[in-house]
């Protein structure tokens, strides 16, 4: 059973650690249900008590947890129970204005804080985040139905990202360039140019529901180490996990107003935030919303990580056991709700039957059920998402795709489904289901596979499986995607690797180093000498 125990290391107030649930956790009735409710709120006790008021979580501004003057809240629906799990404040435009004003002045002081001190605070936040991984992971389980173990992994990975970012920042921001003028025709050595990286100002971070902690810190940490202030608008599903994470930064002791977190529906406060004149940079991860934001944002640097339709090209000489394992892991982890999930398999006709057979056998072994039980396939994030996925499945059925399993759905829970003999006239061949449904298109040449990959509006990642590295390199160069993985499924991590999408998949590049650089601007100081500097002696 779940156990809540006083933590051996109390940091003030009652602090608890939660031991992870056994398989008995789901399906409890009566008293069991109230146990689930108290557990759901368990993360909001002890050190997190101040972030909640009654049953509504507060927003974070000016170094304090606050109630919105709107008097309104936004409900967060548990994807498994389809009932309200949490509530967050619906912040007003006036509150956003105030947050921006404070963020602006806090940034001015922060930019003058020595780099090593900024790094020190980030390391502290990382340690606090990892220390409180259990209650934060609990929120991820309840808000976005992330399997329990993966939820813990997300928080730990986030702590590691913050620490790595602090170290990388110290290295890359500690260096600038020195240029001399006489390398350019017509110049003597009379000008010395010194360049360094300076912060942009206020960075607005908007992450998506599927990694509300990790994709928030991947924006927060680079922004802060580079001397910016940060305003976070978390996804509604995932907001409570994000608020807990923000509290870890609060506990670390960052200056007031440097980090803020405003909650509310993106459709209601999103435009006001993204078009706010105080915002100097937007780092967004999500779907097509990002395309709309890019058109409205104005003349500020944008980092956009958007959707994908990652293709997996399989050649005749590939190790089909390796391919099948990667397709199942890549296509069905977190029920396919990953930007870098394998979203279409393009396999040579001659090996397609064997590969489909192997994948089918592995799909049969996937466990399906609630996230508390750590099942492989858990409910998708919302009913509308489940309906969208079902629409793609029905379209494929009507147009004659081969169903390798029976289509089954209960509420938001969709059983894993492999669709063979998918053709380009089916929606699933092009659209991102963001669910546990994977299409297989049989191809008669590698060129056909590359053509399908490149005909997509998306260009996030892709992968190719072959024993021939020379061929793999040619295919990698031909695929119009930000990254190509050879003999492995697409993946965003490790978090310091460059990560970028072409076409509708994004603008700019993420990854720790690239994000720090993106959130800075080059500043030059030129020393002008009256005579060329090498004339003495
Ligand atoms: P989404 O619907 O685009 O939402 C992303 C974020 O935008 C949420 O925080 C959302 O808030 C907010 N938002 C909504 N409307 C807004 C507006 N008008 N202005 C500003 N912000 C607004 O995406 P999602 O459903 O959360 O995530 C799934 C998508 O993200 C998929 O397409 C997936 O491929 C993509 N993704 C990409 C990457 C990558 O790195 N390339 C990584 C992960 C996911 P609310 O929740 O309040 O609506």
At 101-111, the pLDDT tens digits run 999 999 999 99
In a domain, residue 377? The reply is: yes
* pLDDT at residue 463, rounded to an integer: 98
Joined tokens for residue 23 = 């398989």
Q: Do 248 and 323 have their domain in common?
A: no
Buried/exposed code over 367-397 (b: 16+ C-beta within 10 A; e: otherwise): ebbbbbbbbbbbbbbbeebbebbbebbebbe
Q: Do 350 and 473 have their domain in common?
A: yes
Q: pLDDT, tens digit, for every residue of 312-335?
A: 999 999 999 999 999 999 999 999
pLDDT at 1 over 70: no
Q: Whose CA is nearest to atom 38 of ligand 1?
A: 339
In a domain, residue 247? The reply is: yes
Which is nearest to 437 in space by CA: 464, 406, 461? 406
151: number of Cβ within 10 Å:
28
C-alpha 380 to ligand 1 mean position (Å): 15
In a domain, residue 241? The reply is: yes
C-alpha 286 to ligand 1 mean position (Å): 3
Q: Structural domain of residue 127, as residue ranges?
A: 52-306
Q: pLDDT, tens digit, for every residue of 215-248?
A: 999 999 999 999 999 999 999 999 999 999 999 9
**Over pLDDT 70: what percentage of the chain?**
92
C-alpha 307 to ligand 1 mean position (Å): 9
In the block, residue with structure tokens 């990698």 = 476
* pLDDT at residue 493, rounded to an integer: 87
Q: Do 246 and 382 have their domain in common?
A: no
* pLDDT at residue 237, rounded to an integer: 98
Q: Do 379 and 484 have their domain in common?
A: yes
pLDDT at 43 over 80: no
Q: Is 334 in the pocket of ligand 1 (CB under 6 A)?
A: no
Catalytic residues: 305
Q: Domain boundary residue among 306, 338, 360?
A: 306
Q: Whose CA is nearest to atom 48 of ligand 1?
A: 266
Q: Domain boundary residue among 245, 276, 306?
A: 306
Q: Do 240 and 273 have their domain in common?
A: yes
In a domain, residue 81? The reply is: yes
Question: H helices within 74-114, ranges in order?
Answer: 93-110
Q: Is 90 in the pocket of ligand 1 (CB under 6 A)?
A: no
Ligand 1 pocket test, candidate residues 207, 265, 266, most atoms within 8 A of CB: 266
In a domain, residue 258? The reply is: yes
Q: Do 373 and 387 have their domain in common?
A: yes
Q: Whose CA is nearest to atom 16 of ligand 1?
A: 266
Q: pLDDT, tens digit, for every residue of 377-424?
A: 999 999 999 999 999 999 999 999 999 999 999 999 999 999 999 999
* pLDDT at residue 45, rounded to an integer: 75
pLDDT at 529 over 60: yes
Which is nearest to 136 in space by CA: 36, 54, 214, 35? 214
Domain of 218: which CATH number?
A: 3.40.605.10
Q: Do 156 and 187 have their domain in common?
A: yes
pTM of the predicted protein model = 0.92
Q: Do 292 and 250 have their domain in common?
A: yes
Report the number of distinct structural domains present in the chain: 2
CA-angle at 14, arms to 10 and 16, nearest 5°: 75
Q: Do 224 and 347 have their domain in common?
A: no
- Burial class of residue 336 (count of CB atoms within 10 Å of its CB; 0-12, 13-18, 19+): buried
Q: Do 114 and 231 have their domain in common?
A: yes
Which is nearest to 270 in space by CA: 224, 234, 322? 234
Q: Is 271 in the pocket of ligand 1 (CB under 6 A)?
A: yes
Domain of 480: which CATH number?
A: 3.40.309.10
Give the contacts of 33 (CB within 8 A, at least 6 positions apart): none
Q: Whose CA is nearest to atom 20 of ligand 1?
A: 270
Q: Domain boundary residue among 306, 325, 353?
A: 306
The helix/strand/coil state of 256 is: coil
Q: Are 181 and 188 in contact (CB under 8 A)?
A: yes
* pLDDT at residue 379, rounded to an integer: 98
Q: Is 307 in the pocket of ligand 1 (CB under 6 A)?
A: yes
Q: Do 345 and 463 have their domain in common?
A: yes
Q: Whose CA is nearest to atom 19 of ligand 1?
A: 270
Q: Do 191 and 338 have their domain in common?
A: no
Query: Average pLDDT, stretch 153-178?
Result: 98
């Amino acid at each position: 059973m779940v156990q809540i125990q006083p933590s051996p290391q109390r940091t003030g107030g009652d602090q608890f650690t939660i031991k992870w649930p056994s398989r008995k956790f789901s399906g409890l009735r009566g008293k069991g249900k109230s146990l689930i409710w108290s557990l759901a709120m368990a993360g909001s006790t002890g050190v997190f008590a101040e972030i909640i008021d009654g049953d509504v979580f507060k927003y974070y501004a000016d170094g304090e947890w606050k109630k919105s003057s709107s008097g309104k809240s936004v409900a967060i629906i548990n994807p498994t129970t389809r009932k309200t799990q949490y509530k967050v404040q619906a912040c007003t435009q006036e509150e956003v204005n105030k947050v921006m004003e404070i963020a602006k002045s806090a940034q001015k002081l922060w930019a003058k804080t020595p780099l090593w001190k900024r790094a020190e605070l980030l390391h502290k936040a990382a340690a606090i985040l990892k220390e409180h991984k259990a209650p934060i992971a609990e929120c991820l389980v309840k808000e976005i139905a992330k399997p329990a173990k993966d939820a813990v992994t997300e928080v730990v990975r986030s702590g590691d990202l913050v620490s790595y970012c602090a170290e990388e920042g110290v290295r890359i921001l500690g260096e600038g360039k020195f240029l001399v003028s006489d390398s350019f025709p017509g110049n003597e050595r009379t000008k010395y140019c010194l360049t360094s990286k300076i912060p942009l100002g206020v960075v607005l971070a908007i992450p998506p529901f599927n990694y509300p902690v990790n994709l928030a810190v991947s924006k927060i940490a680079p922004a802060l180490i580079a001397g910016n202030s940060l305003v976070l608008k978390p996804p509604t599903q995932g907001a409570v996990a994000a608020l807990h994470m923000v509290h870890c930064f609060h506990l670390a002791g960052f200056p007031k107003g440097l980090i803020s977190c405003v909650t509310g529906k993106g459709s209601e406060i999103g435009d006001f935030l993204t078009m706010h004149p105080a915002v100097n940079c937007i780092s967004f991860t999500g779907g097509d919303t990002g395309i709309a934001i890019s058109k409205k944002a104005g003349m500020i640097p944008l980092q956009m990580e958007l959707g994908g339709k990652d293709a997996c090209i399989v050649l005749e000489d590939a190790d089909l056991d390796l391919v099948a394992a990667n397709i199942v892991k890549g296509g069905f982890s977190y029920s396919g709700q990953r930007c870098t999930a394998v979203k279409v398999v393009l396999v040579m006709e001659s090996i397609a039957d064997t590969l489909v057979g192997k994948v089918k056998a592995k799909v049969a072994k996937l466990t399906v059920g609630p996230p508390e039980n750590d099942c492989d396939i858990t409910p998708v994030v919302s009913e509308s998402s489940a309906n969208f996925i079902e629409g793609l499945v029905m379209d494929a059925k009507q147009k004659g795709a081969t169903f390798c399993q029976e289509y089954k759905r209960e509420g938001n829970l969709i059983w894993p489904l492999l669709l063979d003999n998918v053709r380009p006239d089916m929606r699933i061949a092009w659209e991102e289901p963001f669910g546990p449904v994977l299409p297989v298109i049989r191809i008669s040449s590698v060129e056909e596979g590359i053509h399908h990959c490149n005909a997509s509006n998306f260009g996030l990642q892709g992968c190719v499986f072959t024993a021939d590295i020379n061929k793999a390199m040619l295919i990698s160069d031909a695929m119009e995607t930000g990254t190509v993985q050879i003999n492995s499924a697409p993946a965003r991590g490790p978090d310091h690797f460059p990560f970028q999408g072409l076409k509708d998949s994004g603008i700019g590049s993420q990854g720790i180093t690239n994000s720090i650089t993106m959130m800075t601007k080059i500043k030059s100081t030129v020393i002008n000498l009256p005579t060329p500097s090498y004339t003495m002696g």
